[in-house]
Structure 1
Amino acid sequence: MKHIESIQNPKVKQWKKLLTKKERDKSGTFLVEGFHLVEEALKQSDRVMEIIVSDKSGLPPRWDSGETPVTIVTEEISNSLSDTEAPQGIYAVCRQVQLEVPDAKTYLLIDAVQDPGNLGTMIRTADAAGIDAVVVGKGSVDVYNSKVLRSAQGSHFHLPIIRGDLHEWIEKLHEKNISVYGTALEGASAYTDISTAESYALLVGNEGNGVSKELLAKTTANLYIPIYGKSESLNVAVATGILLYFLKK
């Protein structure tokens, strides 16, 4: 194990840069924080480049880090890598992976969702609902944002998360005879009125504006969830969960 005690160490400066999207994109890596996320990352050991642990924390005895490099740092360094109020003192530097999904039958397509908590929850929900792949379109928050990672609770390591052009993806899905269901308030059918199938894609959109009209014009059908109370709308992550589980039937 290596030990680093200076917060000015070049390695520390590089780790801190991973808190920015610019450096994550440049390096093709990202930083996960906390015992649960690091443990989930280690289940895909080829994605973990390095483990960083505070000298106040240590690695759990049950963990098998294999040949993954481990660096022990001071509590000051550890805290500087965190954007949480109560850092757990453990991190992993992981590789970004753009996986191919040739045999996928079910998809979640995300258009311009900007709240990291919402995006992470939607990725986690897609994972729980057994969706094969998530495609995140332009205008959405970075999928490797620290708050997205925490909200997804390790689902980044369970299913393909692809950053792509949703117009191109919808065309590809139509070519495969996969139905694409948009979400809209106007010109849409109640979600319970459609027949479910083995293959499908659900398209959900921005918290305030919903899915862009250009994308909605390309869907197989558009759906809405009836509101029975006085609320004007549902949170996009909640709506996504309702629809994914219905389509999975």
Structure 2
Amino acid sequence: MIRKITSIQNKEIKWLLQLQEKSRNRRKEGVFVIEGQREIELALKGNYIPVQLYYLPEKIEFDKVLAYSKITDDPAAITELNQEVYEKLAYRSSTEGIIGVFKSKNHELDDLKLNSENPLVLIAEAPEKPGNIGALLRTADAAAVDAVIIANPKTDLYNPNIIRSSVGCVFTNQIATGSTTEIISYLKRQNVKIYTAALQASENYYDIDFTEASAIIVGTEATGLSDEWIENADRNIIIPMHGEIDSMNVSVAAGILIFEAKRQRITRA
């Protein structure tokens, strides 16, 4: 018999809601929630381990959920929900009928593996908005950068809004977190050049040679990068602005810089 939950007052449903809403609970238990077939498929491809899957039979067949589970010897690992309970948990109106609980991964700098000879790394310092983080991860995936590093993170990577806005790219990128000091030390040990997007004493980004091992560092629109990054940069770079304002969305700026680096690597290969 398939296990079923039909009440939004069920203790397990309340537990799931707490996991979705509270970073503290996700960190404490080492698990997080994923909604949607595409996101779950990307998580499985990224070697994330499912703990529990919940599905709405009107939207997705049990056999497909079973194929996702990879834990077929545990019948309690798959739970059927009714419409009311599923809608209580689901963030999206265009639901795909499946929600999963997965084990979190370790994102320590020491576990980061830069395998190529001239890695390209995207670093964001203290991004706060989940939408911006998600957009940065989508850009990183599109450019197939070697790694994304979040300096001084303000939110955990498994915030549902980050997973949703990244359309699952939080699972497709190699990601690490650490303090600015730790990351600068790591980059220097790896002989990766540091290019900081900054307004002061900066050179046009298209005058920079990104074909060597490179890290492109972006800050928030409000405060930019900390002095520690500027002081340790190999070069400070700028995207020339031709309008009335002097900054743009961090994910847009990152996209311009990353794809210039990719263009150079393709044309000079």
Q: How many residues align?
A: 249
Aligned to 1:71: 79
Decide whether the 8 Å contact of 1:3 with 1:71 is kept in 2. Answer: yes
| Deviation string, structure 1 residues 33-71 (Cα, Å, up to 9, x no partner) | 122212222334542222111243224866632326321
Please list, as runs of the form range in 1=range in 2, the aligned pairs for 1:40-119 lying within 5 A after superposition. 40-44=42-46, 46-59=48-61, 64-65=67-68, 66-67=70-71, 69-98=77-106, 100-104=111-115, 105-119=119-133
* Residue identity matched to 1:56: E
* Residue identity matched to 2:59: S
The TM-score with structure 2 as length reference comes to 0.85
* Residue identity matched to 2:79: T
Decide whether the 8 Å contact of 1:5 with 1:77 is kept in 2. Answer: yes
- Shift in Å at residue 205 of structure 1? 0.8
* Residue identity matched to 2:51: M
- Unaligned 5+ runs, structure 2: 265-269
Give the Cα–Cα distance (whole angstroms) in 1 for the partners of residues 44 and 114 of structure 2: 25
Q: What SS class does the counterpart of residue 181 from structure 1 fall into?
A: strand
* Residue identity matched to 2:71: E
- Shift in Å at residue 134 of structure 1? 1.2
- Answering whether residue 30 of structure 2 is matched by residue 28 of structure 1, we say yes
| Deviation string, structure 1 residues 7-56 (Cα, Å, up to 9, x no partner) | 22222122111111111111111111122212222334542222111243
Give the Cα–Cα distance (whole angstroms) in 1 for the partners of residues 57 and 141 of structure 2: 34
Decide whether the 8 Å contact of 2:112 with 2:176 is kept in 1. Answer: no
- Shift in Å at residue 164 of structure 1? 1.2
- Answering whether residue 175 of structure 2 is matched by residue 161 of structure 1, we say yes
Root mean square deviation of aligned Cα = 2.0
- Unaligned 5+ runs, structure 1: none
Decide whether the 8 Å contact of 1:98 with 1:160 is kept in 2. Answer: no
Distance 1:81 1:130, change over 3 A: same
